[in-house]
Amino acid sequence: MKVAVVGAGAMGMLFGGRLARAGHDVMLIDVDAARVSAIDAHGVTENGAAVSCRAFLPGTAPRSMADLLIVFTKATHTVPAIRQNAALLRPGGVVLTVQNGLGNGSAIAAEVGADHVLVGITNWPADLEGHGEIHVSGSGMVKLWSFDGEDRPVVHSIADALEDAGLNASAEPSVDSAIWTKVIFNATLNGIAALTGLTVGQIGDIEPTRALAMRLVAEGVAIAGASGITIDEEEVRSSVAFALTHHRDHKPSMLQDVEAGRRTEVDAIQGALVNAAYRHGIAVPALETCAALLRGIDARNAPASLQQ
């Protein structure tokens, strides 16, 4: 299979590198010229093991060749990323988004058509260590399904390819619940980490931050229920508790953004949940406070963010 991965951050390199190691023809697309050059020269290195991958700047990759295009940009960049790279897809190819936040599937469908979009989630803990180098601090999974809910053969073939690449993937018709579950998980640990500078394990070691995490989970589950999405609150709590114990050294992406002076994904994560709460008249003081503080950090970093 020919695969184009748009966004060569930690997750893009994890998926691209593992698919390349499994024998697929992979190219990575990124706006960072230094990263593209490093990947072209040395491949993608995961926990010290390297695999060759091609890398391109947007607009320079071969057109109409990819069976699968995976989007790993920030949610704020989804639409421009698709508009820049949709020409990489062969006729009949599909786009997969496992990005953070709500609304990425509909944004992509508006550009390429709903029947060409797969949506899903992943919780692999990967950290960027340098251009072309990532560290994976634990295990994870991938769940995906078609954006329009149809059971198509391509859903299963893509899931099988990701599974064979060691990404623990499955085709899951109830992926909407999984997406909301991940949004709640990210609103919890990404938000607290970004606001405090703590790693996931450190959040769990400090009683007030651990208690805040569980309050954020409860608010998120209430919003999902009001939005018609069934979420098992105990399952989310268990996932958060597992991460606090087993992903101790992981720095969530939102913390990495703050440290780098980049804009966070608050609008697609905490902000999206707060907006849904407003629509249903639900009080969510913890989420509101986190979203307000994160937007304050974004405002502080705005001059630097515009240069990213």
Taking only the tens of pLDDT, the chain with its 308 residues reads 999 999 999 999 999 999 999 999 999 999 999 999 999 999 999 999 999 999 999 989 888 789 999 999 989 899 999 999 999 999 999 999 999 899 899 999 999 999 999 999 998 988 889 889 999 988 999 999 999 999 999 999 999 999 999 999 999 999 999 999 999 999 999 999 999 999 999 999 999 999 999 999 999 999 999 999 999 999 999 999 999 998 899 888 899 899 999 999 999 999 999 999 999 999 999 999 999 999 999 999 886 544 34
Cα maximum dimension of the chain = 54
* CATH of the structural domain 176-305, one choice from 1.10.30.50, 3.90.10.10, 3.90.1150.10, 1.10.1040.10: 1.10.1040.10
Q: What pLDDT score does 123 carry?
A: 85
What b/e string do you get for 184-197 counting C-beta neighbours within 10 Å, with b at 16 or more? bbbbbbbbbbbbee
What is residue 26's predicted lDDT score, i.e. its pLDDT? 96
Strand order in the sheet with 133-136: 49-51, 44-46, 133-136, 126-130
Give CATH superfamily name and number for 2-173: NAD(P)-binding Rossmann-like Domain (3.40.50.720)
What is the rounded distance in angstroms from the CA atom of residue 30 to the CA atom of residue 55?
A: 8
First and final C-alpha spacing in the chain: 32
pTM for this structure? 0.84
Query: What is the residue extent of each domain of the chain?
Result: 2-173, 176-305
Q: What is the pLDDT of residue 57?
A: 95
Buried b / exposed e over 202-237, threshold 16 CB at 10 Å, is: bbbeeeebeebbeebbbbbbbbbeebebebebeebb
Residue 174 CB burial class (10 angstroms; 0-12, 13-18, ≥19): exposed
pLDDT of residue 304: 52
pLDDT of residue 127: 86
Find, among 120, 77, 15, the residue nearest to 264 by Cα: 77
Number of helices (H), then strands (E), in the chain: 13, 12
